Amino acid sequence: MTAADAVTAFSLRQVQQIRGDDVHTLRDVDLDIPRGEVVALVGPSGAGKTSLIRLLNRLDSPASGSITYDGSLIETIPVRELRRRVAFVFQAPAMFPGTVAENLAVARDLARAAPNAGAIKIPEPDEALHLAGVDPAFASRDAQSLSGGERQRVSIARALMTGPETLLLDEPTSALDPDVADHIIATVRMLAASMQLTVVMVTHRLEEARAVSTRTVFMEAARVIEAGPTETMFTAPTNERARNFLLRGK
């Protein structure tokens, strides 16, 4: 492992994805995601943001190109190990049948059964709920009966039960009131800091991206147009389309 690998969580090279009949959902994607950073993935609807993060825990595979995690090509990591280490929080998360506590137990049992999970530290359910900002009294609630914001938090808590190194979030706040959204964002920021998680978060809200992230990636029309430190991206992006998108209304 080289020095560069040690600080890089994900590294994508020349990634292409084609769906259905010749729809290019990703084109020539080169991207590095350094370990421990909170990366915001922004861009217009249909840019390929969801497509991109789905590749990172192999919910989909690219047509060509390479993706490494921690210096290893992701195809060489047992897929259940990769998915334990890289958690995915969906835009509209599905709750499993049963209570919130049972949902967390499913994740914990799957994590324990994953390959090479011997030494991982799995939080207690109470701790995971606390970290995700869920009242511990929710443990006995029927998960199917939760509101959108509650589901989002429980699904973050559920993801934490696998003891992940990296958290992928697809528009975790898109369906929520601004108040609830602010809470989720505060949670994500706190998690990244307290658990040294690498976070990749897709978001439509630029102020949210700016508040939470250390790096920002701008995508448009299946390409990564520009990526860099969030402060630079929101003040002086070099690409003109990135500037139009990120500095709109300024």
Partner 1 sequence: MMLVAPQTASSSVLALSWLDLAFAGALVIVAMAISAWQRLGLARGFAIGAVRAVVQLVAVGYVLTYLIATRRWYLVLLTLLVMLVAATKTATDRQKRGRAKLFVISGTAMLIGAGVTLAYVDVIVLRLHPWYDPQYLIPLFGMIIGNAMNGAALAADRLNSEMELRRGEVEAYLALGASPARASAEAVRRALVAAIMPTLNMLMVVGLVSLPGMMTGQIIGGSSPLTAVRYQIVVVFMLAGAVAMTSVVVALWYRGTFFTAAEQLVSR
Ligand X SMILES: Nc1ncnc2c1ncn2[C@@H]1O[C@H](COP(=O)(O)OP(=O)(O)OP(=O)(O)O)[C@@H](O)[C@H]1O
- Chain contacts with ligand X (rule: CB under 6 A): 19-20, 23, 25, 43, 45-51
Binding Mg ion (rule: CB under 5 A), the pick from 16, 50, 214, 239 is 50
> Which residue, chain included where needed, has tokens 């402060």?
231
According to DSSP, residue 23 is labeled E
Residues numbered 36-65 forming contacts with partner 1, rule: CB under 8 A: 57-61
Binding segment toward partner 1, per CB under 8 A, in 6-14, 152-160, 196-204, 229-237: 152-160
- Residue (58 or 215) nearer to partner 1, CB: 58
Q: In which element (H, E) is residue 227 found?
A: strand 223-229
The item of Mg ion, partner 1, ligand X, none sharing an interface with residue 138, based on CB under 5 to 8 Å by kind, is none
Does 174 engage in binding with Mg ion (CB under 5 A)? no
Give min distance, CB of 241 to partner 1, in A.
Answer: 29
* Cβ contact 107:186 at 8 Å: no
Complete DSSP assignment for 128-152: HHHHTT--GGGGGSBGGG--HHHHH
The item of partner 1, ligand X, Mg ion, none sharing an interface with residue 114, based on CB under 5 to 8 Å by kind, is partner 1
Kindly give, in sequence order, each residue whose CB lies less than 8 Å from that of residue 139, ignoring residues fewer than 6 positions away.
99, 100, 101, 104, 125, 126, 129
Residues numbered 9-38 forming contacts with partner 1, rule: CB under 8 A: 19-20
Binding partner 1 (rule: CB under 8 A), the pick from 9, 40, 114, 185 is 114
Q: Residue type at 202?
A: V
CA distance 197 to 214: 13
Total binding residues toward partner 1, as defined by CB under 8 A = 31
